[in-house]
Amino acid sequence: MISPQAARRLATLAPLPLLVALLAACGPGSTDDGAVETRAVDTVIGQVDVPLEIDSVVVLEGRRDLDIALALDLPLVGYPYEGPDSGLDLPGPLADELAASGAEELFLADEVDVEAIAEVAPSLIIGRLEDVEPIREELEAIAPVLPVSTFDDGVTWQQDLTTIAEATGTSERAEELLAEYDARLAEVRETHASRIADTSVVALGYDLAGTEVEAGRLQSLVLADLGAVPAAALREAYDEDAGEGLGFSPEQTLQTYQDAEALLVLADTEDEWAAAQEDPLFAQLPAVRAGAVVRSDKMTHEGGPLTALHVLDLVEQMYGLV
């Protein structure tokens, strides 16, 4: 039996469902008329309903996600940028495409700003899984989120490209990009066939604390795709499968890379590159003495089809110096 007081409270609350319904009706795409048509996509974070019409895209990490968005010609409106303290002085592999996109720098790399993303109200967010997970709910309140991965997680850029393309209705473009990469790979392979077969190579990271080789970095993956002969350190890194890569102290520079006949050196800043030139052990490396060295930086550690093509250019340049 309901008491009179309880009945009065219920009567007071009675209009609430109606009020909620009215308020909800003000939200985007929730009325029958304005409903956004979506495509359900299965991802590692579950099913994501991606709008069929994508007006604007924001990316979170700035390498694989940005590359794929640009390569698939998605309407990019915002992306993270590297601050001056990163010291990067080489032009990024996506610089031209970014300039052409007219997209806006939204926040510092590794400092995802949800409010800045909300302000541009994208219809889709693409981001690296590890960036998405901690703020997934906040991001999903703004727009559907499509995760991309990294090779360290066992997912190639080709797989991510295909997944994002399927989700955004751009599979045809993705096929073109994959074919373009394969064709360029074949071209480099053919042009430098004998050098590729005879020259041991390695992509190494250089800074003042030492050097490192990582099998999961895009440069190492492109070398593997090409069928390059890995120098001992790269071979060990491929075998290691540790994800973290192999680190070597400054003392071991000559010993570690002595067998490499060509180097792709990843030095992020001009200072680090200058330090490498002054490093007496680095200077004694056979590849350095032969001048078979090409520099790149961390912006080519990860990426998608555009960065992979850029790395292929660097690799071709490297073989050209042998």
Partner 1 sequence: MSPAPVAPAPTSVARTRTRSRQASYLLASFLLLGTSLALGMLVGSRGLTPWSVLELLRGSATAETRAILVELRLPRTVVAALAGGSLAVAGAVMQAHLRNPLADPGLLGVSAGAAVAVVLAIALLGVSTPDGYRWFAFAGAAAGAVLVTAFGLLGSSRRDSSPATLVLAGSAVTAFLSAVTGLVLLLDAATLDAFRFWTVGSLGAVRGIDQLAPVLPFLVAGLLLALAQSGTLDALVLGDDVARGLGRRLGPARLSGLAAVTLLVGSAVSIAGSIGFVGLVVPHAVRRLTGPGHTWLLPQCAVLGAALVVVADVAGRVLVHPDELPVGIVLGVVGAPLFLAILVRTARGR
How many CB atoms within 10 Å of residue 104? Answer: 14
Closest distance of CB 131 from partner 1, Å: 11
Residue placing its CB nearer to partner 1 in the complex, 186 or 208: 208
Alpha helices in 155-289 (DSSP H): 157-168, 171-191, 193-198, 218-226, 232-240, 253-257, 270-278, 280-283, 286-289
Phi, psi of 163 (to 5 degrees): -65, -50
Closest distance of CB 248 from partner 1, Å: 5
Give the integer Cα–Cα distance in Å for 265 and 76: 31
Closest distance of CB 61 from partner 1, Å: 12
Residue placing its CB nearer to partner 1 in the complex, 60 or 72: 60
DSSP string spanning 145-184? EEEE--GGGT--HHHHHHHHHHHHT-HHHHHHHHHHHHHH
Residue placing its CB nearer to partner 1 in the complex, 8 or 289: 289
Residue placing its CB nearer to partner 1 in the complex, 51 or 210: 210
Binding site for partner 1 (CB under 8 A): 82-87, 108-111, 208-210, 246-252, 254-256, 269, 271-272, 275, 278-281, 284
Q: Which residues contact 8 (CB under 8 A, 6 or more apart)?
A: none
Closest distance of CB 265 from partner 1, Å: 16
Closest distance of CB 110 from partner 1, Å: 4
Residue placing its CB nearer to partner 1 in the complex, 198 or 244: 244
Residue placing its CB nearer to partner 1 in the complex, 256 or 307: 256
- The residue count of the chain comes to 322
Closest distance of CB 206 from partner 1, Å: 12
- CA geometry: angle 66, 38, 156, nearest 5 deg: 35
Residue placing its CB nearer to partner 1 in the complex, 53 or 111: 111
Q: Are the C-beta atoms of residues 219 and 264 closer than 8 Å to each other?
A: yes
Closest distance of CB 302 from partner 1, Å: 16
- CA geometry: angle 15, 17, 21, nearest 5 deg: 115
Query: How would you write 67-91 as a 3-class SS string?
Result: HHHHHCCCCEEEEEECCHHHCECCC
